[in-house]
Structure 1
Amino acid sequence: MNYSDTLTSQLAVVTGASSGIGAEFARQLAARGVDLVLVARSKDKLEELASTLRTKHGVTVRPIALDLSQPDSSETLARTLDEQDVAVDILINNAGFASHGDLAEADPGHMASQVQLNVGTLVGNTTRLLPGMIERGRGTVINVASTAGFQAVPHMAVYSATKAFVLSFTRSLWGETRGTGVTVLGICPGATDTPFFDVAGDNASVGSRRTPQQVVTTALAALGGRKATVVDGAGNALVSRVVSRLVPERPLIRIAERSVRPSA
C-alpha cells in the first residue's frame, strides 16, 4: 500500500492553497479523505475551493485567509488552530514567491517579504506544529522547495537562496525526526504551470513546464520512502542531481544566468 493511501481521516494544513501546487495538494488529499485547513491571502478563492472539495469528497474544509508574508503569521495561524481545537497531522509548507531581476535594482521590502514567506514562515509553521505530531507519534511535513535550490541562479538570487535553505532545513529535519513517527519530505519542482510566473515573469521559466498534478503526484508517491527530498520530473532530476555536480561552479553559474536573463 502506498503511504499516501494511509492518510484517510487525518487533517492537513496547506499553505498557499488558493491556486497552483497548493490547490492541487488540497484536491489530491481531499480525494484520499483528508480533512483540510486551507491558508492563503485570497478569501474568495479559498472559499470557492473549500466548497468544491466539501461537495465532491465529503471532507471538512476550513479556509483561513492570512497573509503569510507577515512576520507574525505563523503565530496567528497556530493560535487560530488552537482556538478551533484543530490537531494537525499533515503540514504542507507550499506558500512562496519569486522575484526576477538584479538585486541591485530590487525593492528591499519586497526582498524581505520573499525571505519571510519562503523561509521565516515555513520555519515558524513547522516549529509550532511539529511538536504535536511528535507527541502523537505520527505526522507528515512536506516542504515545497525547488530545483533552483540546487544551484545559484543569477537574477533570482534571493529565491534560489531561500530554496537552498528549504532543502537544507528539510534534510536536517528528516534526520531529527527519524523514529518519531513523523515523515518529512522536500518536493523540488522545476518550472510548473502555475500563477507563480505571473509574479516571477515568463523569463524565469527554464524548459517545458510540468503540471501541478504531476508535482503533487510525485510528492505523495515519495511519502514513506527513504528519501528526504525528491525532484519532480526525470529531466529536472538529471539537471539538479547530476549536471549540477559534474559541471564546475563558474560555468554552471554562467549557464544559469543566461537561462533566466531578463529580456531587455
Structure 2
Amino acid sequence: MNAQQRPTPLALVTGASSGIGYQYARLLAEKGYDLLLVSNEELRIAEVARELRRQFGVRADGLCRDLSLADAADSLFEYTRQQGFEVEVLVNNAGVFFFDDLTETDSRRIERMIGLHVQTVTMLCRYFGAAMKARGKGYILNMSSMSAGMPFPGISVYAATKSYLKQFSKAIHNELYDYGVRVTAVCPGAVATDLYNLSGHYQRLGLRLGILMRPERLARKGLRALFAGRRCVTPGAVNHLFMPLAALVPSRLIRLIKRRAKFYRYGR
C-alpha cells in the first residue's frame, strides 16, 4: 500500500453468504459501508459481493475462509492488514448447529463448533479490538443465542459456546467502552434460516406462529443495538417471555421429555 493512501474503513461480516449474515451485510451496505464478506462457500460469497456492489455502489469483497481452523483469526487479520483495510465494524456471525447428545456426536463436529464459536471469535475480537482501541472508535457484534441460558439435552455444546460468547462480549464491552469501542452480544431465539435444517414449510409455519423471527428483522435490531452502544440484546417480545419460563423447567421434567422423545424417535 502506498504510504500516502489512507486505510479504507469497512465492515467485516463473517458467515455472510446467507441467512442473518447476509442481512447484516445488506444493511451495512445500505448505510454506505464498504464490505469484506467472509464465508466457507466460495461461489456464493462471490455472488453476494457482486450483488451488493451492484445494488448499493459500495466496495464489497468476498473471501472464502474456513473460520473453524485454529489459525483462522490470525490469517484473516493479517489479510486485512496486508490489504490496508481499516475494520470499523466487525460482525462475528458465522456459526454451525447440530442437535445430538455429546457422547453420540462425532468429535470433529464438536471441535469445529468450538473453534468457530469460541477460538476464532475470541481472537478476532482480540486483534480487531486492539486496532479499534488504538483508533478510538469501532463496533463489534457477536452472535450469541437465547440458548445461552438453556442447558438442554442435545444442544450441550451449542448452548455452552453461546453462553461463552454472551459473557465474553459483556466483559469486553466494559473493557473497551472507555476507548470508544462498542461491543454487543445479540441473543436471538429461533430464526427462519437454514441453520436448523427446517424445511421451507416449517419455516413459514414458525413465522406465522411467531416462533421464528425473520433474519432481516433480527439483523436490523442487532445493528440498532450495536450502534446505540447496548451491551446485550435479546430481540423479540416472545423470547423475553419464554426465557424466564425455560429457566424454571426442572431437570427431572427435562429428562422425562428427553426419554419420551428418544422413545418415539427410535422406538425404544
The two structures share one fold, judged by TM-score above 0.5: yes
Alignment of 1:241-256 (within 5 A): 242-245=244-247, 247=248, 249-250=250-251, 253-254=254-255
Matches of 1:35 and 1:175, distance apart in 2:
27
- The answer for the alignment partner of 1:214 in structure 2 is 217
Q: Tell me: CA distance 1:129–1:248, structure 2 relative to 1, closer, same or farther (3 Å).
A: same
Q: Tell me: CA distance 1:65–1:118, structure 2 relative to 1, closer, same or farther (3 Å).
A: same
The one-character-per-residue Cα deviations of 1:35-81 (angstroms, maximum 9, x if unpaired) are 11000111111111111110111101111100011111111101111
Alignment of 1:150-189 (within 5 A): 150-189=149-188
Alignment of 1:81-230 (within 5 A): 81-198=80-197, 208-225=211-228, 227-230=230-233
2:9–2:86 Cα contact (<8 Å) kept: no
Counterpart of 1:37, as a letter, is L
Matches of 2:55 and 2:149, distance apart in 1:
38
Matches of 2:190 and 2:115, distance apart in 1:
22
1:154–1:256 Cα contact (<8 Å) kept: no
1:152–1:256 Cα contact (<8 Å) kept: no
How far has the Cα of 1:253 moved from its partner?
A: 4.5
1:143–1:166 Cα contact (<8 Å) kept: yes
* SS of corresponding position for 2:87: coil
From 219, 234, 239, the equivalent of 2:237 is 234
Q: Tell me: CA distance 1:226–1:35, structure 2 relative to 1, closer, same or farther (3 Å).
A: closer
Q: Which has the higher contact order (CA 8 A, sep 6+)?
A: 1
Counterpart of 1:16, as a letter, is G
Alignment of 1:17-28 (within 5 A): 17-28=16-27
How far has the Cα of 1:84 moved from its partner?
A: 0.5
Larger radius of gyration: 2
Counterpart of 2:93, as a letter, is N
* SS of corresponding position for 2:178: coil
2:184–2:229 Cα contact (<8 Å) kept: no
* SS of corresponding position for 1:155: coil
Question: Which stretch of structure 1 is more off in the superposition, 132-141 or 219-228?
Answer: 219-228
How far has the Cα of 1:175 moved from its partner?
A: 1.2
Matches of 1:47 and 1:156, distance apart in 2:
32
TM-score, normalised to structure 1, is 0.87
How far has the Cα of 1:260 moved from its partner?
A: 8.4
Matches of 1:98 and 1:259, distance apart in 2:
23
Matches of 2:54 and 2:148, distance apart in 1:
38
How far has the Cα of 1:258 moved from its partner?
A: 8.1
How far has the Cα of 1:244 moved from its partner?
A: 4.3
How far has the Cα of 1:198 moved from its partner?
A: 2.6
Q: CA RMSD for the aligned pairs? A: 2.6
How far has the Cα of 1:250 moved from its partner?
A: 2.5
Matches of 2:257 and 2:86, distance apart in 1:
42
Alignment of 1:4-83 (within 5 A): 10-83=9-82
The one-character-per-residue Cα deviations of 1:113-148 (angstroms, maximum 9, x if unpaired) are 111101111101111111110111100000000011
- May I ask how many residue pairs the two structures share in their alignment? 251
* SS of corresponding position for 2:58: coil
How far has the Cα of 1:219 moved from its partner?
A: 0.7
The one-character-per-residue Cα deviations of 1:3-52 (angstroms, maximum 9, x if unpaired) are xxxxxx94111001111111110001101101110001111111111111
| Identical counterparts, % of pairs | 32
How far has the Cα of 1:223 moved from its partner?
A: 2.6
Q: Tell me: CA distance 1:50–1:148, structure 2 relative to 1, closer, same or farther (3 Å).
A: same
